[in-house]
Structure 1
Amino acid sequence: MRCTSRLIPFGFVILLLLLLLGHTLGSSCQTPEKTEGRCVHFSSCRLVLRHYAMYKEHMPPVIMRFLQRARCKPKNEGYHLCCELKDVIPANANSKLK
Protein backbone atom coordinates (compact mmCIF):
# COMPACT_ATOMS: atom_id res chain seq x y z
CA MET A 1 0.00 0.00 0.00
CA ARG A 2 1.40 3.35 -0.99
CA CYS A 3 1.09 6.29 1.39
CA THR A 4 0.76 9.65 -0.29
CA SER A 5 1.00 12.70 1.83
CA ARG A 6 -0.57 15.95 0.87
CA LEU A 7 1.99 18.41 2.07
CA ILE A 8 1.60 22.06 1.30
CA PRO A 9 4.67 23.26 -0.56
CA PHE A 10 6.99 25.26 1.69
CA GLY A 11 7.09 28.17 -0.79
CA PHE A 12 3.31 28.45 -0.69
CA VAL A 13 3.35 28.62 3.13
CA ILE A 14 5.97 31.40 3.04
CA LEU A 15 3.97 33.32 0.43
CA LEU A 16 0.80 32.97 2.51
CA LEU A 17 2.59 34.23 5.64
CA LEU A 18 4.00 37.21 3.76
CA LEU A 19 0.57 38.09 2.40
CA LEU A 20 -1.00 37.85 5.84
CA LEU A 21 1.79 39.89 7.43
CA GLY A 22 1.55 42.49 4.69
CA HIS A 23 -2.21 42.76 5.20
CA THR A 24 -1.77 43.23 8.94
CA LEU A 25 1.01 45.78 8.71
CA GLY A 26 -0.08 47.44 5.50
CA SER A 27 1.85 47.37 2.27
CA SER A 28 4.88 49.50 1.55
CA CYS A 29 4.27 52.73 -0.32
CA GLN A 30 5.78 56.12 -1.05
CA THR A 31 4.30 59.20 0.60
CA PRO A 32 3.57 62.35 -1.41
CA GLU A 33 6.83 63.68 0.07
CA LYS A 34 8.69 60.73 -1.52
CA THR A 35 9.52 59.00 1.78
CA GLU A 36 8.98 55.36 2.64
CA GLY A 37 5.58 54.68 4.13
CA ARG A 38 3.01 52.06 4.97
CA CYS A 39 -0.51 51.89 3.52
CA VAL A 40 -2.76 52.02 6.61
CA HIS A 41 -6.26 53.11 7.63
CA PHE A 42 -6.27 56.83 8.38
CA SER A 43 -6.96 56.18 12.07
CA SER A 44 -3.58 54.39 12.31
CA CYS A 45 -1.57 57.43 11.22
CA ARG A 46 -0.43 59.98 13.82
CA LEU A 47 -0.07 62.71 11.18
CA VAL A 48 -3.77 62.50 10.32
CA LEU A 49 -4.80 62.40 13.97
CA ARG A 50 -2.66 65.48 14.73
CA HIS A 51 -4.18 67.43 11.82
CA TYR A 52 -7.69 66.39 12.80
CA ALA A 53 -7.10 67.37 16.45
CA MET A 54 -5.83 70.77 15.31
CA TYR A 55 -8.40 71.64 12.63
CA LYS A 56 -11.41 69.31 13.16
CA GLU A 57 -13.77 69.84 10.18
CA HIS A 58 -11.96 73.00 9.02
CA MET A 59 -8.83 71.42 7.59
CA PRO A 60 -6.97 73.77 5.22
CA PRO A 61 -7.22 72.90 1.51
CA VAL A 62 -3.46 72.31 1.25
CA ILE A 63 -3.65 69.57 3.90
CA MET A 64 -6.74 68.04 2.29
CA ARG A 65 -4.92 67.87 -1.06
CA PHE A 66 -1.90 66.25 0.62
CA LEU A 67 -4.13 63.59 2.23
CA GLN A 68 -5.88 62.95 -1.08
CA ARG A 69 -2.50 62.43 -2.80
CA ALA A 70 -1.52 60.02 -0.01
CA ARG A 71 -4.42 57.62 -0.72
CA CYS A 72 -3.14 54.13 -1.40
CA LYS A 73 -6.31 52.04 -1.79
CA PRO A 74 -9.56 52.46 -3.69
CA LYS A 75 -12.37 54.34 -1.93
CA ASN A 76 -14.50 51.20 -1.62
CA GLU A 77 -11.87 49.70 0.74
CA GLY A 78 -12.09 52.56 3.22
CA TYR A 79 -9.83 55.55 3.64
CA HIS A 80 -6.28 54.20 3.55
CA LEU A 81 -3.30 56.42 3.01
CA CYS A 82 0.44 56.13 2.77
CA CYS A 83 1.63 57.09 6.23
CA GLU A 84 5.29 57.81 6.94
CA LEU A 85 6.80 54.93 8.94
CA LYS A 86 7.50 57.07 12.01
CA ASP A 87 3.81 58.05 12.17
CA VAL A 88 2.27 54.57 11.86
CA ILE A 89 0.46 53.59 15.04
CA PRO A 90 1.02 49.89 15.87
CA ALA A 91 -2.07 47.69 15.62
CA ASN A 92 -1.93 46.81 19.33
CA ALA A 93 -1.92 50.46 20.48
CA ASN A 94 -5.12 52.15 21.63
CA SER A 95 -5.80 54.84 19.06
CA LYS A 96 -9.06 56.71 19.06
CA LEU A 97 -9.97 59.59 16.78
CA LYS A 98 -10.94 62.47 19.06
Structure 2
Amino acid sequence: MRLTFRLIFFWFVMMLASLCHCHTPPGSCQTPDKNLGQCVHFSACRFVLRQYAMYKEHMPPVIMRFLQRSRCRPKVDGYHLCCELKDVIPANANSKLK
Protein backbone atom coordinates (compact mmCIF):
# COMPACT_ATOMS: atom_id res chain seq x y z
CA MET A 1 0.00 0.00 0.00
CA ARG A 2 2.73 2.48 0.93
CA LEU A 3 4.71 1.64 -2.19
CA THR A 4 1.63 2.22 -4.34
CA PHE A 5 1.01 5.59 -2.67
CA ARG A 6 4.65 6.60 -3.23
CA LEU A 7 4.49 5.62 -6.89
CA ILE A 8 1.27 7.57 -7.41
CA PHE A 9 2.72 10.58 -5.56
CA PHE A 10 5.92 10.42 -7.64
CA TRP A 11 3.89 10.22 -10.85
CA PHE A 12 1.74 13.17 -9.73
CA VAL A 13 4.79 15.32 -8.95
CA MET A 14 6.39 14.45 -12.30
CA MET A 15 3.20 15.35 -14.16
CA LEU A 16 3.00 18.72 -12.38
CA ALA A 17 6.64 19.43 -13.22
CA SER A 18 6.06 18.67 -16.88
CA LEU A 19 2.99 20.92 -16.98
CA CYS A 20 4.97 23.82 -15.52
CA HIS A 21 7.41 23.69 -18.43
CA CYS A 22 4.95 23.17 -21.26
CA HIS A 23 4.18 26.89 -21.59
CA THR A 24 7.83 27.93 -21.70
CA PRO A 25 9.14 27.99 -25.27
CA PRO A 26 12.44 26.23 -25.97
CA GLY A 27 15.39 28.59 -25.69
CA SER A 28 13.47 31.01 -23.51
CA CYS A 29 15.29 32.98 -20.84
CA GLN A 30 14.98 36.04 -18.65
CA THR A 31 16.80 39.26 -19.50
CA PRO A 32 18.78 41.06 -16.77
CA ASP A 33 15.84 43.46 -16.36
CA LYS A 34 13.46 40.50 -15.80
CA ASN A 35 11.72 40.44 -19.18
CA LEU A 36 10.94 37.25 -21.08
CA GLY A 37 13.48 36.68 -23.81
CA GLN A 38 14.99 34.16 -26.18
CA CYS A 39 18.59 32.96 -26.23
CA VAL A 40 19.87 33.98 -29.67
CA HIS A 41 23.14 34.88 -31.38
CA PHE A 42 23.84 38.59 -30.80
CA SER A 43 23.37 39.33 -34.51
CA ALA A 44 19.71 38.22 -34.23
CA CYS A 45 18.84 40.85 -31.61
CA ARG A 46 17.66 44.30 -32.71
CA PHE A 47 18.62 45.80 -29.33
CA VAL A 48 22.28 44.88 -29.88
CA LEU A 49 22.23 46.08 -33.49
CA ARG A 50 20.70 49.42 -32.45
CA GLN A 51 23.27 49.92 -29.69
CA TYR A 52 26.14 49.12 -32.03
CA ALA A 53 24.75 51.43 -34.74
CA MET A 54 24.51 54.24 -32.20
CA TYR A 55 27.83 53.84 -30.34
CA LYS A 56 30.08 51.67 -32.57
CA GLU A 57 33.23 50.85 -30.52
CA HIS A 58 32.40 53.45 -27.84
CA MET A 59 29.54 51.61 -26.16
CA PRO A 60 28.83 52.95 -22.65
CA PRO A 61 29.93 50.69 -19.77
CA VAL A 62 26.35 50.34 -18.49
CA ILE A 63 25.25 48.82 -21.82
CA MET A 64 28.33 46.59 -21.97
CA ARG A 65 27.55 45.26 -18.47
CA PHE A 66 23.91 44.65 -19.47
CA LEU A 67 25.06 42.65 -22.51
CA GLN A 68 27.53 40.66 -20.41
CA ARG A 69 24.78 39.81 -17.89
CA SER A 70 22.55 38.79 -20.83
CA ARG A 71 24.85 35.95 -21.91
CA CYS A 72 22.92 32.67 -22.02
CA ARG A 73 25.39 30.13 -23.48
CA PRO A 74 29.05 29.29 -22.94
CA LYS A 75 31.58 31.26 -24.98
CA VAL A 76 32.48 28.20 -27.07
CA ASP A 77 29.05 28.43 -28.74
CA GLY A 78 29.60 32.02 -29.89
CA TYR A 79 28.12 35.11 -28.27
CA HIS A 80 24.52 34.22 -27.45
CA LEU A 81 22.47 36.45 -25.24
CA CYS A 82 18.97 36.65 -23.85
CA CYS A 83 17.23 39.05 -26.21
CA GLU A 84 13.82 40.47 -25.30
CA LEU A 85 11.17 38.78 -27.44
CA LYS A 86 10.13 42.01 -29.19
CA ASP A 87 13.74 42.48 -30.40
CA VAL A 88 14.40 38.96 -31.71
CA ILE A 89 14.93 38.90 -35.47
CA PRO A 90 13.34 35.75 -36.91
CA ALA A 91 15.77 33.27 -38.47
CA ASN A 92 14.14 33.59 -41.91
CA ALA A 93 14.25 37.43 -41.91
CA ASN A 94 16.94 39.62 -43.38
CA SER A 95 19.32 40.32 -40.46
CA LYS A 96 19.72 44.02 -41.24
CA LEU A 97 18.59 46.54 -38.64
CA LYS A 98 14.91 47.38 -39.09
Structure with more of its chain in helix, by fraction: 2
Q: Which letter does structure 2 place at the counterpart of 1:36?
A: L
TM-score between the two structures when normalised by the length of structure 2: 0.71
Q: How many residues align?
A: 73
- Partners in 1 of 2:95 and 2:53 — Cα distance? 13
Stretches of structure 2 lacking an aligned partner (at least 5 in a row): 1-24
Identity in percent: 81
Q: Which runs of 4+ in 1 moved over 6 A?
A: none
The 5-angstrom pairing of residues 1-98 of structure 1 reads 22=26, 27-96=27-96
* RMSD of aligned alpha carbons: 1.5
TM-score between both structures, scaled by the size of structure 1: 0.71
In structure 2, how many angstroms separate the alpha carbons of the residues matched to 1:95 and 1:44?
7
Distance, in Å, in 2 between the alignment partners of 1:96 and 1:47 is 12
Where does structure 1 lack aligned partners over 5 or more consecutive residues? 1-20
Per-residue CA shift, 1:13-69, capped at 9, x if unaligned?
xxxxxxxx94xxxx0000001010000000000000000000001100000000000
